[in-house]
Amino acid sequence: MQIIVKGAKGFEIFPENKEYAEEKFCKFQKLVKEPAVLEIIFEHTHGTRANIDKKIILNFTMPGLKQAEHFENTATHFTEAIDVLEEKFETFILRAKEKRDEERKQEK
């Protein structure tokens, strides 16, 4: 799985945040069908609502998906948003793997 980490609209990402995101999502490489691409986009929205302005957007493509999966979360810190998205992504990947396994069983 190729993991692409970038900042939205030229936003500069701290290396610690980039490494944290890559570490959290690289563990799913064994569960995806290749060639898969996970794009992680960091965005600082500069919102004023209780300092909740750190946004992470995930776009995921994999063979067998009809369209790209899109997840996003906004939190007070990038690490919080990454943790929430990791849980959502894990649920999605496990369901997709179960579905593939069921289809293989039915083919046999």
pLDDT in tens, the chain (108 residues): 999 999 998 889 999 999 999 999 999 998 888 899 999 999 988 766 667 789 999 999 998 888 999 999 999 899 999 999 999 999 999 998 888 888 888 876
What are the boundaries of each domain within the chain? 2-107
According to CATH, the topology of domain 2-107 is Double Stranded RNA Binding Domain (3.30.160)
* pLDDT computed for residue 4 by the predictor: 94
Secondary structure class of 91 (helix, strand, coil): helix
* pLDDT computed for residue 96 by the predictor: 87
* pLDDT computed for residue 78 by the predictor: 93
Instruction: Extract the tokens encoding 6.
Output: 């970038």
61-to-37, 48, 104 alpha-carbon distances in Å? 5, 33, 21
Closest CA to 2 of 43, 34, 41: 34
CA distance 46 to 35: 35
Secondary structure class of 21 (helix, strand, coil): helix
25-to-52, 62, 85, 90, 104 alpha-carbon distances in Å? 23, 15, 10, 9, 26
* pLDDT computed for residue 49 by the predictor: 65
